[in-house]
Amino acid sequence: MFTRQAHRCDPDLPFKFIIMGKLPHLHGVIFQWRNNIKKDQGREDPLLIIEWVFLSHQRSKRMTRPEELVAELIRKARVRIRELAGCDFECIHIPIGLRSGQITKAMLEHLLQENEALQFALDSFTGQISIHRPAHKIFNQDAKFTLNLKDVRSRKPLEALTVFTDASGKSHKSVMTWKDPQTQQWEADVAEVEGSPQVAELAAVVRAFERFPEPFNLVTDSAYVAGVVSRADQAILQEVSNTALFELLSKLVKLVSHREQPFFVMHTRSHTDLPGFVAEGNRRADALAAPAAMAPLPSIFEQAKLSHQLHHQNAPGLVRRFHITREQAKAIVATCPSCNQHALPSLNAGVNPRGLNSCELWQTDVTHIPQFGRSKYVHVSVDTFSGAVFASAHAGEKTLDAIKHLIQAFSFMGIPKELKTDNGPAYRSKEFCSFLQQWGVGHKTGIPHSPTGQAVVERTHRQIKRVLNQQQPVLKTETPQTRLARALFTLNFLNSTFEFLNRPIVRHFGANPQLNIKERPPVMARDPETGRTEGPHDLVTWGRGTEKQLVLKVAGDLAEDDCRTTQEDVKDVFPLQDPGWDPNDDEGLGRLKRYQELIVKGLERAIPKTINWSALYAIKQGPSQTPSEFLDHLRDAMRRHTTLDPGSDEGMQQLINLFLGQSTGDIRRKLQKIRGPNSRNLETLLDEAWRVFSNREEGYKQGMKKLVAVVKEGEKGKHGQGPPKQGPPRLGKINVYFVRNLVTGKNSAQN
């Protein structure tokens, strides 16, 4: 630095700039050059140094390309010369050296066209760009900085091997998988890497570059990793506090910079159901990286939030469906951006005449929804008692469209006694009146030019449009019919009020006397043990003939299994006609009891089982529960709450996931470390779980032995120098506590 100097500027000479130094320590000089002075004549030096320009010691990026350093120097120099002289440079010298050969003008133009940083740095520059240095000792004493203008990173996919990478922060798995072009089989390389998911996936990328020196395509679902790989060629690293990350970045820069064959890197979205080879490979990588344990079900409050994000039902509907408090439901609706944007003030019920039961009085009208396009005429019918709504989109509002709408509404909500409409020409036509007469529906119209007489249906118009706007971000690509059906589902099946928590569809069909279930006939029951006939009893279920046959078939199959053992005839044990057994006889009473047991078992097994996965996920291993007891508990719950057989392949895989995810913490952590085929072998997992459980018991016993030794040693020291007192030593509170636990057999995990 002691050789650096500066001079006064000459206002008649233009300013120039040159880049000097070696990578990564580049610097520049703002100078002027006097062409009329020759150095060999012993006169003044033609070089006038105006100012030195240096890069910042702390760079904004962890990885910087050499071209970006050059661009940063040019940008700083141009800003500085505008501050000093209010002008731009006449010429910028970029003396680039190549590893082999010399740079040409065409190479420089290609570099400027391909590099975005240089384009921004040279924006609106009208001077010259030179690759040569002026003849001066200051410029010649520094060697040219070298650049590798050959880019090994391809801008388009290659016809070569494709490698997929992924990682998981929970399982700490670093995965890369590929399809062997010769065997057409999927292969994988899985390693365990501590750190964040980005670090784990970066480790997989480094292994991919080490394993495949030939051309290949790299597909990753991490935008961070894809960006790092695209900038790694000849990059200059800044010091990183994370040692593991710095080592991986250094390896990656070295591998990419010295690579001869091209590669292509691409970022793809994860967890998509799109078709194609890329999506399939990414799904395989996701499956390899995912932890073995299944994710727990979200809480009730989170389920309510997810449901509202999908359907946008109101707060009373959330209270009724998820049994949360009113404050929680109102908070969910208040924090929803779509509901806040389209929120409307609440209004009272109004004074429009309403029916005393469902299907007594309907109101029908037409509203316009422009975003539906040609089907913008939406015909709406609402039951004034229950609030049940039906709407259909049509291409017009003529009589034919109104009739089509009402036929669809009748098939959905039933036939009303009376229909109220406005005085529109479609509702006053002879065809419409004849249609209503044919269906036996009364018709009346409101006061002309007074929409308040149709207030119920007018308010329904507003509710439909509000729900459509709230659901638009989710359903904007769906057809008008689908969007309208989703809005009707929310209004009829999800929304309710705090005064009436029943949904409109329940009020509609529950309050209609024509739709109520008819009173079932009373039945008499005879007890085979006592012989007494009791009743009449209310019939619990009314089965069809097919259900009766199903119960008899299942009970008959059970009887056949019993008869194989007892060598009896099935017709004698389980007859399909009344055998006339006498309950007063011991033999007849025994046959009746056996027949009753078979019928009860047939009812239990013939009834379709309700699947309840939540009950299965709620089972957790207790601290003192052995692995075998926990596994049997899971098997019994799977038989009780699902249709899966624990002995089948599908049931076995689900059982393994439950056993891995719902064991105690120490057993779960140990099982998740098992790799390879043994990680899906139930016998291996059970043996390992027993080993952890037994070691826990051994540790407890050793601790108790040490505790007893400490207690004895303490009791010896209490006697002092004199003779010991007669009788057993007195136990303190802590000693009594541990001795009691030792006697009762409780282990440390319970305490």
Among 512, 499, 510, smallest CA distance to 320 is for 499
Separation between Cα atoms, residue 504 and residue 496, nearest integer Å: 7
Separation between Cα atoms, residue 149 and residue 1, nearest integer Å: 31
Separation between Cα atoms, residue 170 and residue 391, nearest integer Å: 48
- How high is the pLDDT of residue 291? 66
Please give the span between the terminal C-alpha atoms of the chain, in angstroms, as a whole number. 72
- How high is the pLDDT of residue 698? 66
Structure tokens at 619: 């089972």
CB atoms within 10 A of CB 564: 10
- How high is the pLDDT of residue 343? 66
Q: What are the Cα distances from residue 208, in Å, to 248, 289, 628, 738?
A: 12, 16, 42, 57
What's the pLDDT tens digit per position in 671-729? 888 877 777 788 888 888 888 888 876 666 666 666 666 666 665 555 555 555 555 55
Separation between Cα atoms, residue 446 and residue 428, nearest integer Å: 12
User: Looking at the chain, which residues constitute the CATH 3.30.420.10 domain(s)?
Assistant: 161-289, 361-510
What's the pLDDT tens digit per position in 157-198? 888 889 999 888 777 888 889 888 888 888 888 888 888 888
- How high is the pLDDT of residue 148? 64
- How high is the pLDDT of residue 460? 92
- Catalogue the long-range contacts made by 185-191 (C-beta closer than 8 Å, 24 or more residues apart): 186/284, 188/284, 188/288, 190/288, 190/289, 190/675
Separation between Cα atoms, residue 138 and residue 49, nearest integer Å: 10
- Furthest-apart CA atoms within the chain: distance in Å: 143
Structure tokens at 305: 């939030």
Taking phi first (over 0 means left), then psi (-120 to 50 degrees means alpha), and beta for anything else, what does residue 396 get?
beta
Bridge partner residues of 164 (DSSP): 177, 219
Which residue stretches of the chain have pLDDT < 70? 1-7, 37-43, 97-103, 141-149, 271-273, 291-298, 343-351, 511-521, 526-531, 537-547, 606-613, 697-751
Superfamily of domain 361-510, CATH level 4: Ribonuclease H-like superfamily/Ribonuclease H (3.30.420.10)
Q: Please give the CATH number for the structural domain made up of 300-341.
A: 1.10.10.200
What's the pLDDT tens digit per position in 33-61? 887 765 555 557 788 888 888 888 777 77
- Grouping H, G, I as helix, E, B as strand and the rest as coil, residue 111 is helix
The phi, psi pair for 445, rounded to 5°, reads: -115, 160
Alpha helices in 93-160 (DSSP H): 105-114, 116-121, 137-140
pTM, to two decimals: 0.38
Separation between Cα atoms, residue 336 and residue 309, nearest integer Å: 8
CATH architecture of 16-146: 2-Layer Sandwich (3.30)
User: Looking at the chain, which residues constitute the CATH 3.30.70 domain(s)?
Assistant: 16-146
- Catalogue the long-range contacts made by 326-335 (C-beta closer than 8 Å, 24 or more residues apart): 326/498, 328/301, 328/304, 329/304, 332/304, 332/305, 332/308, 333/308
Q: Please give the CATH number for the structural domain made up of 161-289.
A: 3.30.420.10
Separation between Cα atoms, residue 328 and residue 315, nearest integer Å: 9
User: Looking at the chain, which residues constitute the CATH 1.10.10.200 domain(s)?
Assistant: 300-341
Separation between Cα atoms, residue 484 and residue 486, nearest integer Å: 5
Angle at alpha carbon of residue 636, lines to 630 and 642, rounded to 5°: 120
Chain centre distance of CA 573: 56
- How high is the pLDDT of residue 378? 96
Separation between Cα atoms, residue 222 and residue 240, nearest integer Å: 20
Q: What are the Cα distances from residue 733, in Å, to 62, 610, 657, 711, 737?
A: 61, 53, 44, 12, 6
